[in-house]
Amino acid sequence: MREVNLAGIDLNLIPAFEALLRLRNVTRAATEVGLSQPAMSRALGRLRETFGDPLLLRVGGSLALTPLAETLAPKVAAALDEMRALFHAPDFDPATLDRTIRIAAADVQTIMLAPPLIARLQREAPGARLRFEPIGRDIVRRMEQGSLDLCFATVATPLPPGVLSEALARDRLALVMRRSHPAANRVWTMADYGIFPHATVAFFGDGVSDIDARLAEAGIQRRIALTTPHFMAAIAAVAASDLVTTLSANFAEKFAPAFDLVLGKPPFDDRLELTMVSLRSRSADPVMRWFRRALLETARDVYGAEDAPPVRLATPARTPSR
């Protein structure tokens, strides 16, 4: 048999070839693979040209395989099975999972989501392991290297090309202070943000904040007395001082009784839309597809069942901090 240029092979011929070799009948083979009889005859002609062999010969009233075709028949059947398996995603059973899933997160996500999420994994995928890691500027590189699967963000987080942000849950921003704060019993205005010292949460140390951008539009500049990468530290600092902070209402409500805090509505749009971010190139991974669904359902249990916003692709935006 002559050497064949694989780049010139039409893979659509393989199902037709297997049916011809097995059924030894052009009409029946054509019906099985969904071709007309003339189209199947043309396919047989192309196969004969490719292999340099007649493959099927008429003997009496039927077709018989040539010696070469007899040799090829089991190989073609096996190759077709392999091709079907290649394009058929295997069923995924979480109970068989043995894998560490790595997520870049702030303490607010680990505190709010890790307990119910690990409880679910213990029930459905006891071999799964969760590893929460710090948020940093190298998140995308870590994802590309495979050392990170997912990270949390907000809908305003800037995303580079190739990254997919999927809606997770809706929250609200809350203005948080201790109950004995001198301004605890008033409705805050934008001007109040420029009077009292603030605790903020920032991950990158660049001082860029959506809140400060909103205040700047109103000609207000707030005084930052404490900057920390931990939301829990901001809560604790506010409880022990006259600092105020603006962060997740769900998170603040969880600790308000223990820290004797009061929550107010900020004098600007308080919507906070949470997302989970991953590489688009790995979005078809059956393990991560299942995990993202489990994470979404867990987040909606924690934050409420309100419908989340749609999937958002990467667009330039300002890096948020609180």
Residue 18 within any structural domain of the chain:
yes
Residue 214 within any structural domain of the chain:
yes
Q: CATH number for the domain including 21?
A: 1.10.10.10
pTM: 0.68
CB 56 within 8 A of CB 63: yes
| Residue that finishes a domain, picked among 46, 67, 86 | 86
| Residue that finishes a domain, picked among 60, 86, 112 | 86
**220 and 82 in a common domain:** no
pLDDT at position 89, please? 61
| Residue that finishes a domain, picked among 68, 86, 104 | 86
Nearest to 297 by CA among 135, 117, 160: 117
**108 and 80 in a common domain:** no
pLDDT at position 319, please? 36
pLDDT at position 252, please? 96
**201 and 74 in a common domain:** no
**81 and 126 in a common domain:** no
Residue 42 within any structural domain of the chain:
yes
Residue 1 within any structural domain of the chain:
no
**106 and 54 in a common domain:** no
pLDDT at position 318, please? 37
**30 and 102 in a common domain:** no
Q: CATH number for the domain including 206?
A: 3.40.190.290
pLDDT at position 259, please? 97
pLDDT at position 4, please? 53
**252 and 119 in a common domain:** yes
**308 and 272 in a common domain:** yes
Residue 146 within any structural domain of the chain:
yes
**36 and 160 in a common domain:** no
**235 and 103 in a common domain:** yes
**Tens place of pLDDT per residue across the chain (322 aa):** 455 555 556 778 888 988 898 888 999 889 888 889 899 999 999 999 888 899 999 888 788 999 999 988 888 888 887 777 666 666 789 999 999 999 999 999 999 999 999 999 999 999 999 999 999 888 888 888 888 999 999 888 877 777 888 999 999 999 999 999 999 998 999 999 999 999 999 887 655 678 888 888 989 999 999 999 999 999 999 999 999 999 999 999 999 999 999 999 999 989 999 999 998 878 878 899 999 999 999 999 999 855 444 434 343 333 334 4
Q: What is the count of structural domains for the chain?
A: 2
**218 and 145 in a common domain:** yes
Domain of residue 118 covers: 92-322
Residue 27 within any structural domain of the chain:
yes
**266 and 138 in a common domain:** yes
Residue 56 within any structural domain of the chain:
yes
